[in-house]
Amino acid sequence: MIRFNLNTKPVEIDADPNMPLLWALRDVLGMTGTKFGCGMAQCGACTVHLDGQPIRSCVMPLSAIADKDISTIEGLSATGEHPVQQAWLEHNVPQCGYCQSGQIMSAVALLEEHPNPDDETIDSYMQGNICRCGTYPRIKAAIKTAAKNKQTAFDYTLAKEVGGQA
Amino acid sequence: MSARNDIKSVSRRDFLRYTSVAGGALVLGTLLPSITPAWASSTVDDAANTLNLFVSIDNDGTVNIVCHRSEMGQGVRTGIPQIVADELCADWSKVNVVQGLGDEAYGSQNTDGSRSIRRFYTTMREMGATARTMLENAAAQTWGVPVSDVFAENGAVVHKSSGKSLSFGELAQVASQQNVPEVKDLTFKSPKDFKFIGKPVTSVDLPKVLTGDTVFGQDVQLDDMLYASIERCPVVGGTVKAFDKEASRGVANVVDVIEMPEQSFPVLFKNLNGVAVLASNTWSALQGRKALNVTWDLGDNQSHDSDAYLAELEKRIVTKGKSIRSVGDAYKAFDTADTKLDATYTVPYLVHAPMEPPAATAVFKDGHCEVWACTQTPQSTQQNVAGALGIDKSKVKVNVTLLGGGFGRKSKPDFSVEAAVLAQKTGKPVKVVWSREDDIRHGYYHAISAQHFQAGLDEAGKVTSWVQRTAFPSISWTFTGTTDEPQTGELSLGFGDLPFAIENLSCETHKAPAHVRIGWIRSVSNIQHGFAIGSFVDELAAKSSVSPHQMWLNLIGDDRIVDPKTQGFKYENYGESYDNFPIETKRLKNVLNELMAKSGANSPTADNEGWGISVHRSFVSYVAVATKVQVANDKVSVLEMHSVIDAGRVINPDRVKSQQEGAMIFGLSIALMGEVTIKEGAVEQSNYHDYTVLRMHQSPKIVTHIIQSDAAPGGVGEPGVPPVAASVTNAIYQASGKRIRALPVNKVYSV
């Protein structure tokens, strides 16, 4: 039995400790907001936060997350009020939307680390997240908007805010 | 408006049958309450009043509009309802979009070929106008006034003289009892009165995408469902010799191991030969697959080697081929030309690699099959599943989920066939999950190709002779197993429809047998033809020392309609009538001239920088692209891109813009890095590390210009792609003096 906190709520899973977190989230817990794209940490579609840091859940075995805090797209703000979600809305960013959970989770972590990122910082931080539809220009613009708006909205300590804000 | 007159009153039962808002949603919703399918986010309640196949209105005023086409990021679930709602005079905040099931009642649902809007613009306006007329008639009847005294506006019908009004919800029930008006009696809005058409309406699915509350094909979950992962033969046509069933069964949580039914050519949309491992979760199925240890009889295609094959095509393409369009005597004119130029261009195999690998879920019970799939083509899914199961297609129900990208891959229903076959064999719900490796190695590939061009110019620099040849394995092989040369449909994609004013022209093809499944990828054969023509025009400009812009204008010539049929080519024109959508050189030149005016592509650059341009008509729309690159230290950086699109009237300018942005990036992936190679019949690449696609740090500033037009709507999803590759390599030539004729660019420069 592996225990961890998922979006601030304790969960326990009876599964192979080698199973990547992605499949535990999707197939065991039914949390399909986190997407499968490559299975080898190449595309970023499965990005979640582990103790506030972005990780690729498709290569993170359950054994490595015992007793840790995991945050997923479902924990960000169920009503879409997080400033990153708001900026995504303002720029009408998504096309198909499949990679966007991962893009948003990476962007939230980026802004936590770099509150006012320049183009180069955004490029370098976000290059692990592929979007085949080609929403990169809008993602970049939305990240800048979110950076601008962030002082007036939430603080970015994601794991603490979920639930209460949802 | 069209002469279409088959709008009929459908019963509520029919509306539910075609949309499955009761059936499909309940099946999912009762099993995993956390998942509400986006395509049935608000069910049509018992009080819904059906006005036609596409419109029903609840008593509370909710307007349910069916989107019968598949959403893969192009915004169709917003665009189609925008058209209906505009003619309906609906209140957009009351619109609920309902995803249609696969059903021929809707007409074609095959969401490819950039045709959702251009094929259904008129029909959708008729659907909206029909429903509006019935609501107006209902109000007139209720008030006992002539219908000419009432009008619909913003979700209500208003009585002109008194100003009293009744909401659509209040009128819905009476409206549903009205006679369905004839199309010829309908009235339509004047474009100046459009409220939603032509407006950047926000995508209806956006809120759910932002919170992760979406259901794609990979996300479908049913009670007691098994997850299947299939080991497929690495070579097309190969068969299973043996495998270790017991070892695989021994892996924890593996429930069953099943050999897929053995198939032969043609490949069609049948399952590939292989072995399926079914488990209680995806991870265990993948682990079980590793223990299978399948041995294969690889078959004849194991001798296929893409490098050797391309070398063969390049040898063949410089010889005279089979003429498909000609005028004058291009060879004689070439011999006597003052200046001559020839060049061969190649494009490798490509694969779609949408972010969501294919996935489908199926249940088989009592002779009926229900499928949930990220499909571009629900009716073909119905048909192929029925064929594979040996049942009538009326017994196959296809629910269309959101698609995590499509690009043509998901218009092949092979993955739904796999799920259906396994559901039938196990008697349980089965989801077939394709891994990324499966997606890269078992696709329907964009054909590898070679193009050869030669032209002669007279003393004045006028092009007097033009010979162009193309060779690539045909998509038709996928369906016949025997076709070994390009077909008219493919040659209609930017080759036989060459829009140039040249007195001596010969368009030719060469043989090219197929050895892998060939399919269509966003813009299809326009990819290689747009690259080759766009490059050769640029080479001619350089050779004769005129600007590329001027060379394009010279070649396109006077304002006129180009009709390739007059020169012997049976041009298919994307299935459109030539009267409605002719090749207009004026529009082609216009997008190019707009591009030059707006992009700055005429401006001087630093020595190691350069602009490149290209222009192309495809899917009856016109697109010009300018790209600025820098070449430094053997590395190409794309700095800036501009595109101009003339797609006639646009429904949602923001989604057209986003499609253009996406097309630039898709085109850059093809130009800079796209390449699938095959050794011993098997694809060498496997995932995004070796089949690379553009990432954010490689993505330039992109500016989109949309030509304002009242012309009939053309395609949008694909036409942006074809001019991109040539604009990039032309820019590289300007920046570095190096001409790249074999894609991708990363064979020569790092990117």
Q: In CATH, what is the architecture of B306-351+444-747?
A: 2-Layer Sandwich (3.30)
Nearest CA-CA distance, residue A123 and chain B, Å: 5
Residue B25 pLDDT grade (very low, low, confident, very high; cuts 50, 70, 90):
very low
Residue B486 contacts residue B472 (beta carbons within 8 Å): yes
B12-211 in CATH: which number? 3.30.365.10
pLDDT in tens, B307-328: 999 999 999 999 999 999 999 9
Query: B517 φ, ψ to 5°?
Result: -65, 125
Would the CB atoms of A94 and B404 count as touching at under 8 Å? no
Q: How far is CA B583 from CA B448, B491, B498, B616, in A?
A: 27, 15, 10, 11
Flag whether residue A57 sits within 8 Å of chain B, measured between CB atoms: no
Q: What pLDDT, on a 0 to 100 scale, did the predictor assign at position A164?
A: 31
Q: What is the DSSP string of B62-125?
A: -EEEEE-S--SSS-HHHHHHHHHHHHHT--GGGEEEEEPPS-GGGS-----TT-HHHHHHHHHH
Q: What pLDDT, on a 0 to 100 scale, did the predictor assign at position B52?
A: 82
Residue B333 contacts residue B465 (beta carbons within 8 Å): yes
CA B581 – CA B575 distance, rounded (Å): 10
pLDDT in tens, B645-689: 999 999 999 999 999 999 999 999 999 999 999 999 999 999 999
Residue A49 pLDDT grade (very low, low, confident, very high; cuts 50, 70, 90):
very high
Other CB atoms within 10 Å distance of the CB of residue B697: 15
Q: How far is CA B85 from CA B3, B78, B155, B245, in A?
A: 21, 10, 9, 56
pLDDT in tens, B385-400: 999 999 999 999 999 9
CA B125 – CA B135 distance, rounded (Å): 15
Would you tell me the crossing angle of helices B526-543 and B548-556 to the nearest 10 degrees? Answer: 110
B449 torsion bin: left (phi>0), alpha (psi -120 to 50), beta (else): beta
Nearest CA-CA distance, residue A147 and chain B, Å: 17
- pLDDT beyond 50 at B40: no
Closest by Cβ to A39, choosing from B203, B221, B435: B435
Q: Which residue of B has its CA nearest to A128?
A: B695
Flag whether residue B309 sits within 8 Å of chain A, measured between CB atoms: no
Would the CB atoms of A96 and B72 count as touching at under 8 Å? yes
pLDDT in tens, B326-352: 999 999 999 999 999 999 999 999 999
Q: What pLDDT, on a 0 to 100 scale, did the predictor assign at position B28?
A: 19
All residues of chain B having their beta carbon less than 8 Å from the beta carbon of residue A43 are 355, 436, 688
Mean pLDDT (whole number) for B519-534: 98
Provide the Cα torsion A17, A22, A28, A31; round to 10°.
150
Q: B124-134 burial, b for 16+ CB within 10 Å, e for fewer?
A: bbbbbbbbbbb
Q: Count of H helices and E strands in chain A?
A: 6, 5
Residue A160, judged by CB atoms within 10 A of its CB (0-12, 13-18, 19+), counts as middle
Q: What is the pTM (predicted TM-score) of this model?
A: 0.94
Radius of gyration of chain A (CA): 15
Residue A145, judged by CB atoms within 10 A of its CB (0-12, 13-18, 19+), counts as middle
Flag whether residue B403 sits within 8 Å of chain A, measured between CB atoms: yes
Element containing residue B381 per DSSP (H, E): helix B378-389
CATH match of B217-299+358-433 with 3.30.365.10 = yes
Element containing residue B208 per DSSP (H, E): helix B206-211
Residue B463, judged by CB atoms within 10 A of its CB (0-12, 13-18, 19+), counts as buried
pLDDT in tens, B107-154: 889 999 999 999 999 999 999 999 999 999 999 999 999 999 999 999
- pLDDT beyond 70 at A67: yes
Where do the domains of chain A lie, and which CATH numbers do they carry?
2-75 (3.10.20.30), 83-159 (1.10.150.120)
Residue B34 pLDDT grade (very low, low, confident, very high; cuts 50, 70, 90):
very low
Mean pLDDT (whole number) for B411-423: 98
- pLDDT beyond 70 at B256: yes
Mean pLDDT (whole number) for A152-164: 42
pLDDT in tens, B274-308: 999 999 999 999 999 999 999 999 999 999 999 99
B600 torsion bin: left (phi>0), alpha (psi -120 to 50), beta (else): left
Q: What pLDDT, on a 0 to 100 scale, did the predictor assign at position B18?
A: 67
CA A146 – CA A126 distance, rounded (Å): 15
Flag whether residue B37 sits within 8 Å of chain A, measured between CB atoms: no
Q: Which of residues 61-120 of A touch B (CB under 8 A)?
A: 72-74, 76-80, 85, 88-89, 92, 94-101, 104
ipTM (interface pTM):
0.94
All residues of chain B having their beta carbon less than 8 Å from the beta carbon of residue A32 are 35, 212, 215, 218-219, 221
Q: Which residue of A has its CA nearest to B439?
A: A38
Residue B50 pLDDT grade (very low, low, confident, very high; cuts 50, 70, 90):
confident
Closest by Cβ to A27, choosing from B207, B281, B687: B281
Ranges of CATH 3.30.365.10 domains, chain B: 12-211, 217-299+358-433, 306-351+444-747
Residue B105 pLDDT grade (very low, low, confident, very high; cuts 50, 70, 90):
confident
Nearest Cα residue to B391 out of B409, B375, B371: B371
Radius of gyration of chain B (CA): 27
CA A34 – CA A20 distance, rounded (Å): 12
Q: What pLDDT, on a 0 to 100 scale, did the predictor assign at position B301?
A: 98
> What is the DSSP-derived secondary structure letter of residue B33?
T
CB pairs under 8 A between A and B: 192
pLDDT in tens, B446-481: 999 999 999 999 999 999 999 999 999 999 999 999
Would the CB atoms of A132 and B355 count as touching at under 8 Å? yes
Would the CB atoms of B356 and A35 count as touching at under 8 Å? yes
- pLDDT beyond 80 at B497: yes
Nearest CA-CA distance, residue B662 and chain A, Å: 4
pLDDT in tens, B718-748: 999 999 999 999 999 999 999 999 999 999 9
Flag whether residue B637 sits within 8 Å of chain A, measured between CB atoms: no
